[in-house]
Chains A and B, each alone.
Chain A
């Protein structure tokens, strides 16, 4: 059974870079035709897809991030990571790492990690 777990700093200062890592267990991140995504949920708001990566290295991002996001993968550690630059208070959210197929259906999800942007 595939499981995902997010990790990283819970507090980030405005204008700095948010960095999160997702560790995948129960299966190789390189197996199958899967894509690995980040999704966030601000308090009281809906879910927002951030972007995704394939282990081939191909990435694609939601234009709403204005080119601030980047996702990388480390197959040797079975991990993928998110970097979000120049953060503001509006980036405060619960961040989930998720597995998806070519079809953009998402399952399973990590438990999520709450990141607060504040000085």
Chain B
């Protein structure tokens, strides 16, 4: 399954609301996760099953979608949120990842 993330990059100011998109080439029900990778750090799990926040993830992060279209929303960007975000599906084996969206400081 191919995951296409858009946009590839965007520049925003702290406090802005941002919506990231992930589209899958086949339906994956709600079996999508989102990861955040800050510069120089390992990815960390933000969201699983499309909308379940992982432990310790702030409430400003929310996920939605089903089938082939998924979104990750950050309600108000914090300086620590500037990072690359990846989506991943596990509905169809092998698990695959999207190419990422880079959120940069404007």
User: Which residues of A does B touch, CB under 8 Å?
Assistant: 45-49, 62-64, 96, 103-112
Question: How many pairs of residues, A versus B, come closer than 8 Å at their CB atoms?
Answer: 47
Q: Is the CB of B54 within 8 A of A46?
A: no
- B63 cross-chain contacts in A, Cβ below 8 A: none
- Tell me, rounded to whole Å, the shortest Cβ–Cβ distance linking A67 to chain B: 14
Total chain B interface residues with beta-carbon distance under 8 A: 19
Shortest Cβ distance from A51 into B: residue: B94
Assuming A108-B42, A112-B42, is B86 touching A47 (CB within 8 A)? Answer: yes
Give A108 to B76 CA distance when docked, in angstroms.
25
Whole-angstrom distance between the alpha carbons of A104 and B92 in the complex?
11
| Given A45-B99, A46-B99, A49-B96, CB of A109 within 8 Å of CB of B43 | yes
**16 A-B pairs whose Cβ atoms sit less than 8 Å apart in the complex:** A46-B86, A46-B99, A47-B88, A47-B97, A48-B97, A49-B94, A63-B94, A96-B42, A96-B43, A104-B90, A105-B45, A105-B48, A106-B43, A108-B45, A109-B44, A111-B42
Question: Which B residues lie within 8 Å of A62 (CB)?
Answer: 94
List A contacts of B45 (CB < 8 A).
105-108
Q: Is B41 an interface residue (CB 8 A)?
A: yes
User: Do residues B42 and A46 form an inter-chain contact, with CB atoms below 8 A?
Assistant: no
- Measured CB to CB, the nearest residue on chain B to A108 is B44
Among A47, A109, A112, which residue has the most Cβ atoms of chain B within 10 A? A47
A103 touches B42 (CB 8 A): no
Bound-state CA distance A109–B96 (Å) is: 16
Closest residue of B by beta carbon distance from A64:
B94
A-facing residues in B31-62 (Cβ within 8 Å): 33, 35, 41-45, 48, 54
Chain A to chain B: the 7 pairs with minimum beta-carbon distance, closest first: A107-B45, A104-B90, A109-B42, A47-B97, A46-B99, A104-B95, A105-B48
Q: Are A46 and B44 in contact (CB under 8 A)?
A: no
| A105 touching B43, Cβ below 8 Å | no
Fill in one digit per residue for B89-105: 1 if any A CB lies within 8 Å of its CB, else 0: 01000111111100000
Taking a contact as CB atoms under 8 Å apart, the answer to whether A110 and B94 are in contact is no
